[in-house]
Amino acid sequence: MHSRLDLRWLDTVAVSTVALVLYRLTAAPDVYYTDCGELAGVCATLGVAHPTGYPLFTLVGYLWHVLPLPLLLPIAKLNLLMTVLGASAVAVVHRTSLHLVGRVVTLDSAAVRVVAAIAALLFATARTIWAQALSLEVHALQVLLVVLLIHMLVRWENSRRRRQMVIAALVLGLCFTNHLSSIVLLPGVLVMALLLGRGSFAERVRELALPAVMVISCALLYVYLPLRSASGPIFDWGEVHRSFDKFWYHVSGKQYSVWMFSGGWRQQLAVFWKLLLPNAALPFSLWGLWILWRRNRPIALLLVLMAVVCVGYVINYSIHDIEPYFVSAFVALSLAAAVGIAALWRYRFVRGIVVLLPLAYTVWNWRVNDLHAHRLVRDYVRLVVEPLPKGSIVFSQQWDYFCSAFWYLQQVEGYRRDIVLVEKELLRRTWYVHQLERWYGEPIRRCSTEIAAYMPLLEEFESGRMPKERYNQIQRAFVALLRALAERNPDRYWFATPEVIETEPELASAFDVRPYGATVALVGAGGQIPPLPTMVEPQQLMEGAQRYDTERLDRGLAALASLAYVRTGDAVVSHDRRRAAECYRAAIGLDRSNMAARDRLARLYNDR
């Protein structure tokens, strides 16, 4: 028995090592899209992240960041943490599969070991699970916590030891301190706990008192947010120490409620099916659920409810990057697949299929998950920032591509500390005005009059007390502050990324707007801008855009960079046709669908 257990642990080490190598080979080497830059800054400086605050993730990330890992930038160290978390989740899935298969299906020890290893590798190579281990985000830790929760529940169902029930409750509580989507776990856990309880229904409910206390006690971890916020960290999203209302608004994710149950469920369900249908293990998952229903109904209900509630909840959340929110459903289906494979193991043709499935998954999902050369985000930040004169003020709302990444690069790596970046949409939040003043000082303080007029209105709006008929008043104060940030700093040049001009025409009307690389220059009356220097060499951007052309954000970044080169070509074509042609060719290399660049290049050749 002892040697058999040792061999099973060796299996666990082996499959998790395979996963770790796979994830490291395909992990992003640098800052990635959306919240990656901001979260990297928060972890590196022990700050406060965007709602809902993610205190557990922040603390885990910070502790990892301070480990002595030489020759690695902070973002590279934190991306490495994601691969370790992903491989750890694979190890837990392997241990859970061993317990579950051995409990439900009659197989010899060698067959159980093989089935558990295959199930763990199928989990590791599933597209959505694999993707969470490749760049800095909160979902890799969430996957690990969810599989650990199921592991403890399976062991509790097997032994009925109260200690394991309490540990499961503690893990469930930690899930909530990492991501509030953990609400989808509650129905399955509660139903399973009630089914496994002893005595009458009332006695079973009373038995859950201690686990409930454990879950609720984990919420104390959220105290980190106001305590750390009060100390004035570099990243202090929400300034939640100001009042309980500010704290609750932050941790409840109230600002996201506008996207819940907003009618986009058909589109989100299509995303789920798109991720699910190529999953060749789905028949094994369905068969495994049927076997569990017949032989271990509490576990069956746990997995079914976890999958169904997860999908039912997530499809009603209308955001673009919805894929990671389905991970609880994929975890449940992966563990059910282990049982399904075990139940069919006696059929030789089934063995032949499932032994090859992990390799097939790896080949099938490699291209879409291979980020090992992905440096597009840093390259795009350089494209935006490097041509700008020293001390420039930049307005932008390109959070996914530019602002979040620049926060990390500037505040952690020290890149272009002379630039003042104003994220236009965040300027609609009271805390952000204070953060701008902490980061940039005098250029912001020069606008004290406009800030004093704007902040009371913003407080009223943020609290939900402002009547709609006064929205025009706060918009006028908002635009006045934007203008003041430029006009009160005549010693600096002013720029904006193009979408700001499109969304704030009142701001654009106050300036002469001229193309300037990836931005537009805002020129006051009689003002001048320096000549546009040579743009960032496009070769690396083009190679990245051609390599990564399947995902929405990759295509969006390539399109933005392509338009930047078109604007540059337009700015220089009157006096430097050769340089203009190079810009148009770069634009086409970045986005082959850019017809404007093709037309301009053709016109240049025809005019010769």
Mind listing the pLDDT tens digit for each residue in 428-456?
999 999 999 999 999 999 999 999 999 99
Specify the pLDDT at position 1: 44
DSSP at 389: P
Nearest residue to 443 (alpha-carbon basis) of 411, 420, 427: 420
Give the chain's domains with CATH numbers: 2-369 (no CATH), 376-523 (no CATH), 539-606 (1.25.40)
Question: Contact at 8 Å (CB) between 590 and 545?
Answer: yes
Question: Contact at 8 Å (CB) between 335 and 142?
Answer: no
Specify the pLDDT at position 253: 86
Phi, psi of 317 (to 5 degrees): -110, 105
Question: Contact at 8 Å (CB) between 100 and 126?
Answer: no
* Tokens, residue 485: 């940030």
Phi, psi of 522 (to 5 degrees): -100, 110
What SS3 class is residue 573? Answer: coil
Residues 6 or more apart in contact with residue 600 via CB below 8 angstroms? 566, 569, 570, 573, 580, 584
Q: Which residues pair with 395 in a beta bridge?
A: 422, 496
Residues 559-608 pLDDT 10s: 999 999 998 888 888 888 888 888 899 999 999 998 988 988 888 877 66
Specify the pLDDT at position 280: 66
Phi, psi of 152 (to 5 degrees): -70, -35
Q: Between the CA atoms of 213, 218, 219 and 221, what dihedral angle is there, to the nearest 10 degrees? A: 150
CA distances for 357 relative to 288, 351, 368, angstroms: 17, 10, 18
Q: Do the strands 494-496 and 393-396 form a parallel or antiparallel pair, or are they unpaired?
A: parallel
* Tokens, residue 104: 């439900």
Phi, psi of 169 (to 5 degrees): -65, -40
Spatial distance between the Cα atoms of 395 and 414, rounded to a whole number of angstroms: 20
* Tokens, residue 154: 């399976």
* Tokens, residue 63: 């502790």
Q: Do the strands 519-523 and 512-516 form a parallel or antiparallel pair, or are they unpaired?
A: antiparallel
Spatial distance between the Cα atoms of 366 and 371, rounded to a whole number of angstroms: 9
Specify the pLDDT at position 443: 94
Q: Do the strands 494-496 and 519-523 form a parallel or antiparallel pair, or are they unpaired?
A: antiparallel
H-only helix segments in 327-375? 327-343, 348-369
**Please, what's the b/e burial string for 17-41 (b: 16 or more CB within 10 A of its CB; e: otherwise)?**
ebbbebbbebbbbbbbbbbbbbbbb
Q: How many CB atoms lie within 10 A of CB 58?
A: 26
* Tokens, residue 608: 């010769």
Q: Mark the ranges of the chain whose per-residue pLDDT is less than 50.
A: 1
Strands (E) across 483-585 are located at: 494-496, 512-516, 519-523
Spatial distance between the Cα atoms of 562 and 149, rounded to a whole number of angstroms: 46
CA–chain centroid gap for 485, Å, is 31
* Tokens, residue 296: 């271990």
**Nearest-5° Cα angle at 166, 164 to 168:** 70
Question: Contact at 8 Å (CB) between 486 and 393?
Answer: yes
What SS3 class is residue 576? Answer: coil
CA distances for 393 relative to 48, 182, 412, angstroms: 25, 40, 19
Q: Do the strands 393-396 and 420-423 form a parallel or antiparallel pair, or are they unpaired?
A: parallel
